[in-house]
Amino acid sequence: MRPPPAGACGVAAANLGGDPAHTVADLTAELRRGPLAGLTVDGADESPLTRAFQVSLDALPAAPRRLFALLGLVPGPDFTARGCAALLGAPVPEAARLLRRLAAAHLVEQHVPGRYRQHDLVRDFARAQPAEPGAWDRLVAFHLAAVDAVDGHFSRHPLRLPRESAPACVVGFADSAEAVAWLEAEQDNLTALLRQAAVQGPHPTAWYLADAIRSVFLHRGLRAEWLAVAVPVLAAARGVPRVEALMLQSIGAACVHLGRRQEAVRHLEAALAAHRRCRWPEGEAATVNSLGIALLACGRLGDAADLFTRALALETANGSPTGRMMALNNLGFVHRQLGELAEAIGHLDLALELSARERSSWGEAVARVNLGYVRRLLGDPAGAREHLLAACALHRGLGNRYGEASALVGLSVVHADLGQHAQARADAEAALAVARQEANRDTEVGALTALGRALAASGSVVDAEALHRQAVEIARRWGSPWHVAEASAGLCVTLGLRGLPEASVLAAETLALARGHRIVLADEESLLALA
């Protein structure tokens, strides 16, 4: 089964019907100007275009002809020598040499260094070639190995689908930067490959690929992109209990961060039931943790704390260090929101200690972000700054832009506390740029609030007010009650500095919202004075 057509640009080469007047350059120019009227390759072996491609192909030795036929299996928009080597079952240098030969024949083109593509009509012709047994399986196995290698640089996700066999091949990346660069370049190809493999197979390799891609996509903040893949994969995986449960859980986790919180709760509750039905305690523990995050986003802080406590017990029983780190960090976060700072510090110190023992850069980065925020609330700006600077560097090294932006927001607030207003503004502006690029509304609210604080502290109160109003508007549309309360508190303080009567009304509303959800705000004393 060949993959469906995918759009690409490129050129074809040959002479039309053997007529020397119709040169390769003529055909190339015609293709670039637009569709060739009346020339098709589907079911029209006698068409001039088909003859042109066949003449060009027949002029090549057997090895490049074989690769050309195999390129019909590629479901994504482009390909590299590394992927072609998997199709061929040959070394990468050999694949690179054959690609250069095909490019010289104008059957592929190198549109950026190291990446090749084909014109749609050339690709249709390639897909009409006889399929080679085993090549598709090799391509899927290569992408699984590559995604495993990417995930290995992050070591974040505690729950993985148990594998029945050793990997068919191994792929390595020199460092996390190279791994992230590969992921970014291959994102469209990965989604196309997974959607086809979920239906066509090979199984269970396709399910392992879905599991691995789930991890790296969510880690990179690609939530909307993951939903576009996960829904059809879930449909294809019906009747495979653990894969169904994982897909439901991942859809729920993505929905939380996209502001679709009630939908997230429904999917996560369904995932929890599915994990229990297939008697997978590791899956149950991870889903309990994810459900806690969803309830936290809904403003149900007490219920979330109970679930994180339960997740911690389950992860401890299952012997999952990464799961324990996640639960401890989440407990630290919710206790900070509840104003229970001693409890928060206790959980976060344990998370940091565990991350050092497990050599988990991700676990250390998350713990340090949370510790930075708590240390600031405890009146220790120097300690807060130390944690946040370390966290920022760790997240940057891991390619985790969401985590880096969270650390930058914290640094902005701490630098404002220290009177370093220019640095506070720079930190907040950097965080805001990342948040908007990643379409991460929660972080955008935090960055706008921090930037408003920095401007207000430096005397630009009118500009600060405008930023705080943006933060409140976005929080009310997308954020949790905690985000709404934090953004509103920032606006209240700025309105108070301007002596506007609106400040007292908004302060009373913000205090009522915070108390209704048991949220403790850093600006509570200022709000009480304004109210």
- What pLDDT is stored for residue 24 in this prediction? 39
- What pLDDT is stored for residue 37 in this prediction? 37
**Using CA atoms, how far apart are residues 41 and 124, in angstroms rounded to an integer?**
7
Q: Can you give the C-alpha Rg of the chain in angstroms?
A: 27
pTM for the predicted model, two decimal places: 0.77
**Using CA atoms, how far apart are residues 81 and 224, in angstroms rounded to an integer?**
29
- What pLDDT is stored for residue 382 in this prediction? 96
Q: Half-sphere exposure of 56 toward its Cβ, with a 13 Å CA cutoff?
A: 30
Tell me the pLDDT of the chain (531 aa) as tens digits. Answer: 444 333 333 323 333 333 333 433 354 445 444 444 334 444 444 567 778 888 888 889 999 999 999 999 999 999 999 999 999 999 999 999 999 999 999 999 999 999 999 998 889 989 988 889 999 999 999 999 999 998 887 656 667 888 887 777 888 888 878 888 898 899 999 999 999 999 999 999 999 999 988 888 887 778 888 998 999 999 999 989 999 999 999 999 999 888 888 999 999 999 999 999 999 999 999 999 999 999 999 999 999 999 999 999 999 998 889 899 999 999 999 999 999 999 999 999 999 999 999 999 989 999 999 999 999 999 999 999 999 999 999 999 887 888 999 999 999 999 999 999 999 999 999 999 999 987 788 899 999 999 999 999 989 999 999 999 999 999 998 878 999 999 999 999 999 999 999 999 999 999 999 999 999 888 888 888 887
**Using CA atoms, how far apart are residues 428 and 446, in angstroms rounded to an integer?**
9
* DSSP bridge partners of 115: 112
User: For the chain, percent helix, then strand, then coil, each to nearest 5?
Assistant: 75, 0, 25
> 313: which 2 tokens?
């017990």
Q: Which helix (H) or strand (E) holds 60?
A: none
Residue 216 contacts residue 155 (beta carbons within 8 Å): no
C-alpha dist (Å) from residue 198 to 162, 201, 202, 232, 336: 17, 6, 8, 8, 42
Task: Centre a 10 Å sphere on the Cβ of residue 133 and count the other Cβ atoms it contains.
Answer: 7
**Using CA atoms, how far apart are residues 72 and 395, in angstroms rounded to an integer?**
39
